[in-house]
Copies of this chain bind each other. A is one copy, B any other.
Amino acid sequence: MISQLIEKIQKTKAPVCVGLDPMLSYIPEHITKKALNDHGETLEGAAEAVWQFNKEIIDHTYDLIPAVKPQIAMYEQFGIEGLSVYKRTVDYCRQKGLIVIGDVKRGDIGSTSAAYATGHLGHVQVGSRALSGLGADFMTVNPYFGTDGVKPFVDVCNQEDKGLFVLVKTSNPSSGEFQDKLIDGRPLYELVAEKVVEWGNASMDGDYSNVGAVVGATYPEMSRILRKLMPKTYFLVPGYGAQGGTAEDLKPCFNQDGLGAIVNSSRGIIAAYKQEKYAAFGAEHFGEASRQAVADMVADINRVL
């Protein structure tokens, strides 16, 4: 699966993914108004607004990018109706040829992780049929349970040619509270990184492993060390743009070959029309604002590579 992602990154010359993390506050009024008029002030109405918003952004950006990363929390907040739109978004993106990274950060004991892996990436056996649940290409995984909590995800990846990004160093301000704590003189995130390499060794797919890592853009000095520790691990890099990470901060996430990282931007793309820079598009043309924001992001990142 990682080789497919790399191929798409090379084809689009865009090591970026668009975070489809729709808050109602990002959605232009004309869309929300219509959805709530049609469906009432209900979860169904909110979910319909999210879907119309997503579709417009996908339609305006899919040819520029290799991948999208829907954040499932933004759908879960609207209950089953929201989750149905998560699934609809995943399916639509895949139809458009995009790689879908389900940003779900699941993780549990072995048998439970196996169920998550099945639901998000694999197939569940029902009678004589093997059925797909949520059907993403990659998912993000939380490593707190250790090897037996992560291994079932790796197993499903190996069976189904799918991929993971395991949390190593996250982009948020408190990430250091546990992740940076020193163990025998080295931060916890380095230990996690070594485990990610170990977990991914039997999942090579070309030059990189299907088991990747989440490494926040907001800590470039740590990215440099992690890049060396995990030479064959692809990085999913959140934190660019709205969270404060700059293109220069991203550089250490990449290898000499210009590969090794895919940078996510959510708010900076999907709510671009709300920025002064793109205000001229107007809320009615928010999809075009997002398209321009993608083009600008790609240029910004390629400038430093």
Contact = CB atoms under 8 A, between A and B. Distances in A.
5 contacts: A80-B134, A109-B171, A144-B144, A144-B179, A148-B173
A84 B73 CA distance: 16
Interface stretch (A1-9, A120-128, A247-255, A273-281): A120-128
A184 B133 CA distance: 44
Interface string A137-159: 00000111111110000000000
A302 to B, nearest CB: 26
Interface string A169-186: 011111111110111100
Contacts of A223: none
A201 interface: no
Interface in A88-125: 105-113, 115-116, 118-120, 124-125
Contacts of A128: 41
Identify which of A78, A133, A173, A191 gathers the most chain B CB atoms within 10 Å of its CB: A133
A74 B115 CA distance: 6
Interface stretch (A42-50, A202-210, A225-233): A42-50
Interface residues of A, number: 75
A160 interface: no
Given A36-B126, A36-B127, A41-B127, A77 B119 contact: yes
A24 interface: yes
Contacts of A111: 23
A76 B108 contact: no
Contacts of A131: 41-43, 46, 78-79
A83 B82 contact: no
The number of times this chain is found in the oligomer is 2
B133 A145 contact: no
Contacts of A76: 115-116, 119-120, 133-134
A197 to B, nearest CB: 14
A263 B131 CA distance: 34
Given A76-B119, A144-B142, A179-B146, A133 B43 contact: yes
A65 interface: no
Identify which of A71, A127, A132, A167 gathers the most chain B CB atoms within 10 Å of its CB: A127
A303 interface: no
A44 B170 CA distance: 37
A283 interface: no
